[in-house]
Structure 1
Amino acid sequence: MAALTRIWGAVAALGAALIALAVGAAAVPWIAVPMVAAGIAQAVIAVAALRGTRWHPGIVLVPLLLPTIVWLGALLAVPEAASSLPMAPLLAESTLALGAAALLLLRRTHDDEPKPIHTVLGLLSSAAVVATIATTALAGTNAGQFAQPHGEHGIAVEEHGGH
């Protein structure tokens, strides 16, 4: 079960990272810098966790909690600047990041390797949940507003009347 907890935590951290990067990409610099830095660190933590790496809790907690601290701090300190932040994506990022922190820090000292079918099912189930949350959240970011709508990819075919 410990290895599945690690997988679920890693996938949640990856989803949080994607949202933090998307929000940071369109934010004012004093919000963008910590958001992008935290997003990169969250992605590193996700990959390391999938590989089985263990770090001190502080190294895991800081990047996972930083985006939440930044947007809550901005909301309290500079409400007019924070009003431009996409709140739904930030809430989704915080949910995934806090869940990842809990899952990654609750791991036991020894990871027993689960059966391959359990690993695949754990990865698929966590990916389905995180993909649903992250996709919805990303759609609410600046990047999501300019994304190509589904079904409209590829070459546009123009119809000409007559000949």
Structure 2
Amino acid sequence: MTSISRLWLAFAAMGAGTIHLAVGATAPVLLAIILVGFGAAELAWGVATLVRGRLVVPDLALFGALIPVFVWGTTATLGSGFGIPAGATGLPLFPMMVASLFGLFIAAALAVVRRRAGRSIRQTGSAGAPAPGVGRTDVATAPQGWRFLVALTIGGLLFSGLTTPALAATEVGAHAVPHGLPASTSRTLPGSTSPALVTPGHHR
């Protein structure tokens, strides 16, 4: 697998992990435990893949990426069967859809890597020792200058462009204080014992 592919997989894992943590923070207890746990694991796997320059436990990551997708699909299916809106299940539609797309991308890419590695092993057979890199689920390929830089830029824009609105659509994101807005202050008006909310720049 090329360094660019690993980079995009790491971005996807960190995007999915961040969304799962945000959704899990306000989800029902059982779903919260599952999503927060997998969110932390996805973040750790993405960081480890970037730091170590190779895929970490790819077989485990393949199946792990599909479990949150399965959990969301099951929850949505059961909820719709009982006439429960998607938002009422505690798993908002758009954030979970983006996180699931990331998970499917990771699983599909790792499945391709696994299949190629298995094919290489079968072709080698008992004819002799496998060629360098054969039998591994990851074959390192050095970055190629401007190609890597372009891929890094595109990957960053693509995955952050999907992750940011997904986070904003979660309940955690809805309660976040917008950047650049001054905090409100309270002041007691003359002749009144209750404080009035005053925004900086607005004078009475």
The question of a shared fold, defined as TM-score above 0.5 by the shorter chain, is answered with yes
The alpha carbon displacement at 1:53 in A equals 3.4
The answer as to whether partners of 1:3 and 1:113 remain within 8 angstroms in 2 is: yes
The structure having more radius of gyration, on CA atoms, is 2
In structure 2, what residue type is equivalent to 1:157?
A: P
Matched residue of 2:54: which SS? Answer: coil
Matched residue of 2:142: which SS? Answer: coil
The alpha carbon displacement at 1:3 in A equals 0.8
Q: Would you say 1:126 and 2:132 are equivalent positions? A: no
Gaps of 5+ in 1: none
The alpha carbon displacement at 1:76 in A equals 2.8
Matched residue of 2:178: which SS? Answer: coil
- The percentage of counterpart residues that share the same residue type is 32
Structure with bigger helix share is 1
The alpha carbon displacement at 1:52 in A equals 1.8
Per-residue CA deviation, residues 101-145 of structure 1 (Å, 9 max, x unaligned), is 333454563211112433332222111001111111111100111
**Superposed CA RMSD:** 2.4
Residues 1:126 and 1:28: Cα distance change in structure 2 (over 3 Å): same
Return the TM-score normalized by structure 2: 0.69
Alignment of 1:1-163 (within 5 A): 2-50=2-50, 51-79=52-80, 80=84, 83-84=87-88, 85-107=91-113, 109-152=138-181, 157-160=200-203
Return the TM-score normalized by structure 1: 0.85
The answer as to whether partners of 2:86 and 2:93 remain within 8 angstroms in 1 is: no
Residues 1:153 and 1:43: Cα distance change in structure 2 (over 3 Å): farther
